[in-house]
Amino acid sequence: MILSFIAGSIIGSFLNVVIFRTPQNLSIISPRSHCPKCKSFIPFYYNIPIVSFIFLGGKCKQCNEKISWQYISVEIITGILFVFSFSKFSLSEAILLNVVFCCLIIISYIDFHYLLIPSIYLYLLIFLLIPYTYITTQSPYQTILGAVAITTYLAICTLIVGIIKRDINILGFGDILLIIFIGGWLGIIHSFISLFLAAIIGILYIIINNHLIKNETIKIPFGTCLSISFTIITILKEYTKLLTF
């Protein structure tokens, strides 16, 4: 349990690098970790996930610049999700689910900040549906049915709203690919629950934003909403009998 958490937080630390550098088209391998403000390199003993953040009081050792809460939140979330998957699933299933969680964490944070989803992670997620049907009890038929059902439903919704609003660009292409993945992974019923939960999260996001900044045109990072709802449904499925169909 503790080992899973440590492994997760170390991976989370790497995800932070990906989240920070991908939108800026920077290499994720070199240069070494450095402070975004003063560019000073972070020695390995200040680069320990979670511990360093607390030890340094959330500030850069060199320039005292505040380190974003994003770093520690990604490390903690990845750690918790690793504990969940390793305690609930077989090793191969857990590893596969962890790769999914990592992709979703990257997607969530980048979509939240930049309202874009790097397509490579979406293609990877859809590709992972193939090993998923091999190592779990879900049949390829259920996977395809889930993906097709939710895509058809979305296409109809988009068409109806598109005709009313005279604007067909309601969802981004990234959102659609993410929904296809969710349909394939969760199957027909759970993916629909996940889609509705994502819509509720999106509405909550608008309410909170309206309250905080009174911005007239709020764009919802729907990729973030979908990732959160997928994670919640995946966890609830394992812990409650309510969602068992």
Residue ranges that bind Zn ion, judged by CB under 5 A: 35, 37-38, 60, 62-63, 65
Q: For tokens 């090793």, name the residue.
A: 91
* Residue 40 Cβ vs Zn ion, minimum distance, rounded to whole Å: 5
Expressed in percent and rounded to 5, the helix, strand and coil fractions of the chain are 70, 0, 25
Round to whole Å and give the CA distance between 228 and 204: 13
Residue number with CB closer to Zn ion (59 or 165)? 59
Could you tell me the smallest distance in angstroms from the CB atom of residue 169 to Zn ion? 40
Report the alpha-carbon distance of residue 70 to residue 113 in Å, rounded.
11
CB nearer Zn ion, residue 63 or residue 170: 63
By C-beta, is 48 or 115 nearer to Zn ion?
48
Crossing angle of helices 140-165 and 119-135, rounded to 10°: 140
- Fill in the DSSP letter of residue 67: P
Both tokens of residue 47? 């680069």
Paired with 41 in beta bridges are 34
Minimum separation from the CB atom of position 118 to Zn ion (A): 27
Rounded to a whole number of angstroms, the minimum distance from the CB of residue 65 to Zn ion is 5
Residue in 177, 190, 222 with CA at minimum distance from that of residue 204:
222
The C-alpha angle 182, 188, 190, rounded to 5 degrees, equals 65
Between 63 and 156, CB nearer to Zn ion: 63
State the nearest-atom distance from the C-beta of 33 to Zn ion, in Å. 11
The residue among 35 and 95 lying less far from Zn ion, judged by its C-beta, is 35
